[in-house]
Amino acid sequence: MKNNVDIDSIKIGVVGAGSWGTAIANHLGLKGFKVDLWVFEKEVKDQIEKYRKNKIFLPGFTLSSNIFPSNDLSSVASDKDLLIIVVPSHLMRETVSRITGIVSKNTIILSASKGIENKTHLTMSCVLKEALPEISDDKIAVISGPSFAKEVANKVPTLVTVASKDKNVAEFVQHVFSTPYFRVYTTDDLIGVELGGSVKNVIAIAAGIIDGLCFGLNTRAALITRGLTEIRRLGLKLGANANTFAGLAGIGDLILTCTGDLSRNHTVGKKIGEGKKLNEILSEMRMVAEGVKTAKSIYNLSRKIGVEMPICQEIYHILYNDVSPEEAARRLMSRDLKREIDE
């Protein structure tokens, strides 16, 4: 496999030691990179240092000795060639604001977080631009695709996409991440990749509700298909490339999150379909289901810019207005009849 990166000289930091952040750090550590990993919880830092384990967020795996955990965000962010941000989307602005003036203007900033900010309706790359004004647009990239953390940690063959306005930046990240079991493609469509990775979490909640209600495979297949229509509709309105949604960050990630048992968003939806209340479900989870907060962003954004997204809007009403899943399904099925394909 072609590889034009010098493993010994490239300095990498990973901000966030949840399941995905830990899996990324371990993936790069096993490849041979020395990885500084910022960990919020002291107990997680101690576990990684003493036992090479993250028992809370990625249990069952022995982590690479090339991972160096730290609770000091500044030290992890400073003097890096590549800084990978893997924090929940609602914490992105607060976290990266703490490293403005610390991170080098030459550092490539890679977002591996999926979500849309509630107040601003910005994707994570746009939040990074605002929170880190010293970093130019061409130094920002995003990575997305069908990639459950546990399966990446298990070295299951995985394919993702990295997006950047700068071709050289995208290709640099591509070569840093690529291994015989982790294949990376490139694109310049940041907005398409980010919308695909964000909105699919809302559709996954809907898919989980369908499974919780025992509606069947016909319904789930239709939900995924029409969900993709909504993602594409929003993406085109915001300037994305339509072809992106037929790729890994679009339909690929959507299928995975709507059907995989490891999907936290699908799990939330399934429990709602089975009759549990959202607050009860979230109180039992330590990890974040991004679709819950993203549903609010998508609801408000779609109404603001006039994009029809009925599935996402019904999920918002289920989550925030206590509409029953059965009523939401009835409303979706009784909408005015129309042509399938948008003109």
Are residues 38 and 167 both part of a single domain?
yes
CATH number at residue 300: 1.10.1040.10
One DSSP character per residue, 60-89 reads T-PPPTTEEEES-HHHHHSS-SEEEE-S-G
Enclosing domain of residue 218: 195-333
Which residues are known to be catalytic? Answer: 200
- Is the pLDDT at 22 greater than 50? The verdict is yes
Q: Are 141 and 170 in contact (CB under 8 A)?
A: yes
- What sign does the CA torsion over 164, 165, 167, 168 have? negative
Residue 343 is predicted with a pLDDT of: 66
Residues 169, 246 share a domain? no
Q: Are 238 and 176 in contact (CB under 8 A)?
A: no
Look at residue 106 and give its three-state secondary structure.
Answer: coil
Is residue 339 assigned to a domain? no
pTM of the model: 0.95
Same domain for 291 and 207, yes or no, is: yes
Q: How far apart are CA 296 and CA 290, in angstroms?
A: 11
Q: Which helix (H) or strand (E) holds 315?
A: helix 310-320
Can you give the pLDDT at residue 335?
97
3-state secondary structure of 298: helix
Instruction: Name the pLDDT band for 107 (thresholds 50, 70, 90).
Output: very high
- Name the pLDDT band for 146 (thresholds 50, 70, 90): very high
pLDDT band at 1 (very low <50, low <70, confident <90, very high): very low
Q: 183 and 51 share a domain?
A: yes
User: How far, in Å, CA of 140 to CA of 129, rounded?
Assistant: 8
Helix (H, G, I), strand (E, B) or coil at 177: helix
Structure tokens at 177: 């991440």
Angle between helices 290-305 and 264-273 (to 10 degrees): 90
Look at the chain and report how many structural domains it folds into.
Answer: 2
- Residue 7 located in a structural domain: no
Report the SS3 class of residue 33: coil
pLDDT score recorded for residue 285: 83
